[in-house]
Structure 1
Amino acid sequence: MNVRKIITLLEETVTEGGRPVEPAARVAVVAVVIENPWAGQGFVEDLGAGIEATASDLGALLAPRVIEALGADVEAYGKAAIVGLDGEIEHGSALIHTLKFGDHFRKAADATTLLPAVEKRAGAGTVFDIPLKHKTDATVRSHHQSIEVRIADAPHPGEILVALAASAQGRPQQRLASLSTEQ
């Protein structure tokens, strides 16, 4: 795995709807920009070798960093893969939609649900939203949220930007009734 850069972002919302948020609502994102393991190979029928060589290392790199950046227990989480213009969306999906990648975050966060994801092909500086859901119950409405991310110089055409996001709580000032009220 050839890493070009690692980016850490922390967002703290201290006021929402004109009211204080106490404690501040924290969301952390850690992204890594890597060389696309399939770059320059044309269409690759079997992505297995690249998954084996890269996915677990990516998860092991990102999971502890995003938890450390959050500085609190994880309640909701999500992931992203943004593939540079010379790659395929499937390249990003291959790296993040495998237990080799996601189980690092699930274990570190003591989570059980699938990680919600965004993946797309785009040029450097594209804006993308990472969806987050509750780590043990995807039906908990208060934790359905997203965080907008933009890395100015990534991904380059032959790169993939992979990111994990974690929040310490649900949306600030959330007031929706539980899903069970409608069932």
Structure 2
Amino acid sequence: MNVRKIVTYVDEVLTEGGRPVAPPARTAVVVAVIDNPWAGQGFVEDLAPGIDATASDLGRLLAPRVVAALGVPVEAYGKAAIVGLDGEIEHGSALIHTLKFGDHFRKAAEATTLLPAVEKRAGAGTVFDVPLKHITDATIRSHHQSIEVRVADAPHAHEIVIGLAAAGQGRPQSRLAPLSTEQ
């Protein structure tokens, strides 16, 4: 795995709807810009060797970084894969939709739910939204949120941007009734 760069974003909301948010709502994202392990090979039928060589190392690299950047216990989380124009969306999906990748984050966040994800093919500087959901109960609506991310110089055509996002709370000033009130 060749990592060109790691980018960390921390977002802290202090006011929402004209009211203070106390404590501030924190969200963190850590992305790694890596060489696409299948770049230049044409159509690759069996992605397993690339998954085995890359996915677990990526999860091990990113999970502790995003938890540390957040600086508070993780309550919501998500993941992303943005594939450069010479790759396939399946290349990003292959790396993030495996327990070899996701279990590192689940363990670090003490989570049990599936990680929501975004994946797409795009050029450098594309904006993407990482969806987040609660770490143990995906039906908790206050934690359904997203964070916008952009890496100005990535992905190059032969790269993939792989990211993890974490929030220490639900949406600031959330007021929706629990899902159970509608069932």
**TM-score scaled by structure 1?**
1.00
Q: Compute the displacement of 1:91 (Å).
A: 0.1
What are the ranges of 5 or more consecutive residues in structure 1 without an aligned counterpart?
Answer: none
What per-residue deviation string (whole Å, max 9, x for no partner) do you get for residues 1-51 of structure 1? Answer: 000000000000000000000000000000000000000000000000000
The separation in 1 between residues aligned to 2:151 and 2:101, in whole angstroms, is: 22
Determine helix, strand or coil for the equivalent of 1:175.
coil
CA RMSD of aligned residues (A): 0.2
Task: In structure 2, give the amino acid aligned to 1:66.
Answer: V
Task: In structure 1, give the amino acid aligned to 2:89.
Answer: I
Superposed, 1:137-156 pairs within 5 Å as 137-156=137-156
Q: Compute the displacement of 1:170 (Å).
A: 0.1
The separation in 2 between residues aligned to 1:25 and 1:108, in whole angstroms, is: 20
The reply to whether residue 85 of structure 1 matches residue 85 of structure 2 is: yes
Determine helix, strand or coil for the equivalent of 2:20.
strand
Q: Which residue of 1 aligns with 2:10?
A: 10
The reply to whether residue 102 of structure 1 matches residue 102 of structure 2 is: yes
What per-residue deviation string (whole Å, max 9, x for no partner) do you get for residues 98-131 of structure 1? Answer: 0000000000100000000000000000000000
Q: Which residue of 1 aligns with 2:157?
A: 157
Give identity over the alignment, percent: 81
The separation in 2 between residues aligned to 1:122 and 1:56, in whole angstroms, is: 24
Superposed, 1:9-48 pairs within 5 Å as 9-48=9-48
The separation in 2 between residues aligned to 1:151 and 1:21, in whole angstroms, is: 28
Q: Compute the displacement of 1:82 (Å).
A: 0.1
What per-residue deviation string (whole Å, max 9, x for no partner) do you get for residues 34-86 of structure 1? Answer: 00000000000000000000000000000000000000000000000000000
The separation in 2 between residues aligned to 1:38 and 1:123, in whole angstroms, is: 17
Q: Which residue of 2 aligns with 1:70?
A: 70
What are the ranges of 5 or more consecutive residues in structure 2 without an aligned counterpart?
Answer: none
Task: In structure 2, give the amino acid aligned to 1:58.
Answer: L
The separation in 2 between residues aligned to 1:95 and 1:20, in whole angstroms, is: 39
Determine helix, strand or coil for the equivalent of 1:66.
helix
Q: Compute the displacement of 1:148 (Å).
A: 0.3
Aligned residue pairs: how many?
183
Determine helix, strand or coil for the equivalent of 1:92.
helix
The separation in 2 between residues aligned to 1:48 and 1:62, in whole angstroms, is: 21
The separation in 2 between residues aligned to 1:172 and 1:108, in whole angstroms, is: 24
Q: Which residue of 2 aligns with 1:49?
A: 49
